[in-house]
Amino acid sequence: MSDQPSLATPLSSVWANRKCFLVCCLVSMANLEYGLDSGVIGTLQAIPGFLAVFGYPDQFIPGGYGLNASKTNTTKQSTFQQLITSLPILGGLISSLASGLLSTYVGRRPGLWIACLFTLIGVAIQMSTDNKGAIYLGRFVLGLGNGFLQTFSNIYCAEVAPAHLRAIMVGLSTEWILIGSILAAAITNATQVRLDKSSFQIPLGVLLVLPVVLAVGLFFVPETPRYLIDRGQSGAARRALEMLRGSSLRPEELELEFVEMVKGIEEEKRLAGTLGPLDVFRETDRRRTLLCLGVSTADSGGSGAWFLIPYVTYFMLISGVPVRDVFHYYIINTCLGLVVCNAGLFLMRHVCGRRTFLMLGAALNGLCMLGLAVSSTVVTSPDTARACLVAFVSLFLIVYSLATGVATRPVATELVSTRLRAWSFGLTVAVGHLNIWLVSFCTPYFINPENLHWGGKYGYIWTASNLICLVWYYFFVPEMKGRSLEEIDELFEKRVATLDFKGFQTGIREEAVRDIQSGGHRDAGGETKSEPAVAVQEHQE
């Protein structure tokens, strides 16, 4: 037997880890609400019944209604369009910042329950009124709920998933967002023919379903083992890990994973000593936080996705695409996005790493935006221009779902330390919401006919930003595929260079094996855990 024992991570299948996969499916369903809301509010802006209540008639705008300033009535300077899109993002920013404090004291599951409550209240307010002030309040409260839902669900999945399946289980959030967008498109497409309040109240009412289902489902999932270890509840953490892993690991492999978690968290506490929002910018955590913020900013503020996602139907409408075709294109694009999202998860798991996928996404996003901008500049035929616009918008949404949208969340959750994950990731989600808010708030001024009226030429800006993202990914984002969260902690603690991450040999797993073999590991309650040592030794022999 070797003097330096080691035990390779078992690369079990998704089916073998079906218990954990189903738990992550349920928890990541929280992101369905975000997809539903983004899809509903984006498509409502092209529904005559919604525009008749909250907009104004304008014969110069395709569709016959507008939401902002009118060419025939320059005194009507409503900011309604910007606010209904940006206020949920602002609410999400605030709740994401608060998630670190909430998570520290109540945990991941209670945080999701609180999120469900905020979401229900926000939707109920919007359904019960046609007063714009009340709508603003409802949008903001819904944003608070969505911020908590996204933050806690992604943290949960990152902390419970096996290392080799973490990209898939965290990437489920992107799938749920796309499913939400598809459902929103289908529902609003069915209600677009209505000319009364039910045209928007029915889609909004669907938003009530998810928080109820999620709140009930959370009673059947455990708290994350890493959070329980951090809070000194080692026995509960072991039971949670056993439930999550099921039969995918043998007893000695389960023990090894548990000991590795304990050693990693204990080492973090020993080196840091404090836990608070300022710690994310201290020592090695500074690098990790800045990288995480950079990845989030590249996605939310650099890719151009949030120029199109909230406004895609409205953008097509003011470009002359018929209302009926707008909804059909939207449904087709979101369905294709879901298909390529699954392809992206498969490729990231079996073919290439996260870093490569992020660079691929930036390159493809930039090319699509360049095509959109150039065609809008040089094409003079209205029919050809509309066809080019539809084609490049569709291509962008598809390649974004294939690469950038799939890879960003797994990378962001991996980059931050276990001890500060709620604080760091909460800050990252908040900065992402700030970027989305800025892009969403400014976009109407660039694309609306009564403002700059750039239309597709707006793509030039996003071509340049994607090029910057591509260069940044290459030089600064490390490859973390297949690493446990504790191994990633060690890599950053040792200040390993970005390009050396992939081949660097960590030592925490070997240390955990030696602890088990020596029978010296004790849990938080002081109880020696030496029985599995024999099993580990037999496995190695």
The rounded distance, in Å, linking the Cα atoms of 336 and 405 is 14
Helices (H), 233-277: 234-245, 251-272
The dihedral through the CA atoms of 202, 204, 208, 209 has a sign that is positive
Contact 9, 482 (CB under 8 A): yes
104-108, 176-180, 461-465: the lowest-pLDDT one: 104-108
How high does pLDDT run on average in the chain?
A: 83
Q: How confident is the model at residue 61 (pLDDT cuts 50, 70, 90)?
A: low
Q: How confident is the model at residue 273 (pLDDT cuts 50, 70, 90)?
A: low
Token digits of residue 89: 């993002």
Examine the pLDDT at 275 and tell me if it is beyond 70. no
What average pLDDT does this structure show over 391-409?
91
The rounded distance, in Å, linking the Cα atoms of 318 and 38 is 19
pLDDT of residue 80: 76
Q: How confident is the model at residue 62 (pLDDT cuts 50, 70, 90)?
A: low
pLDDT of residue 72: 45
SS3 state of residue 57: strand
Q: For residue range 167-181, list pLDDT tens digits in order.
A: 899 989 989 998 998
Examine the pLDDT at 5 and tell me if it is beyond 50. no
Token digits of residue 307: 């120029």
pLDDT of residue 8: 59
What average pLDDT does this structure show over 78-103?
82
Examine the pLDDT at 530 and tell me if it is beyond 50. no
pLDDT of residue 182: 86
DSSP 8-state code for residue 45: T
pLDDT of residue 520: 56
Q: For residue range 13-38, list pLDDT tens digits in order.
A: 888 899 999 999 999 999 999 889 98
Q: How confident is the model at residue 4 (pLDDT cuts 50, 70, 90)?
A: very low
Measured CA to CA in angstroms, residue 315 lies from 19, 33, 310, 319 at distances of 42, 23, 9, 6
Token digits of residue 389: 């616009």
Phi, psi of 501 (to 5 degrees): -60, -45
Examine the pLDDT at 60 and tell me if it is beyond 90. no
- Single out the residue of 445, 418, 413 nearest to residue 432, CA to CA: 413
What average pLDDT does this structure show over 66-90?
63
- Single out the residue of 129, 32, 30, 43 nearest to residue 85, CA to CA: 43
- Concatenated DSSP letters for 160-216? HS-GGGHHHHHHHHHHHHHHHHHHHHHHHHHHTT--STHHHHHHHHHTTHHHHHHHH
pLDDT of residue 3: 41
pLDDT of residue 64: 58
What average pLDDT does this structure show over 331-357?
88
33-37, 268-272, 330-334: the lowest-pLDDT one: 268-272
* Most confident region among 37-51, 148-162, 278-292, 330-344 by mean pLDDT: 148-162
Token digits of residue 36: 């539903």
Q: How confident is the model at residue 218 (pLDDT cuts 50, 70, 90)?
A: very high
Q: How confident is the model at residue 392 (pLDDT cuts 50, 70, 90)?
A: very high
116-125, 263-272, 333-342, 349-358: the lowest-pLDDT one: 263-272
Q: How confident is the model at residue 76 (pLDDT cuts 50, 70, 90)?
A: very low
The rounded distance, in Å, linking the Cα atoms of 403 and 167 is 12
112-121, 392-401, 452-461: the lowest-pLDDT one: 452-461
1-10, 32-41, 119-128, 441-450: the lowest-pLDDT one: 1-10
What average pLDDT does this structure show over 342-362?
90
Largest CA distance in the chain: 85
What average pLDDT does this structure show over 456-476?
93
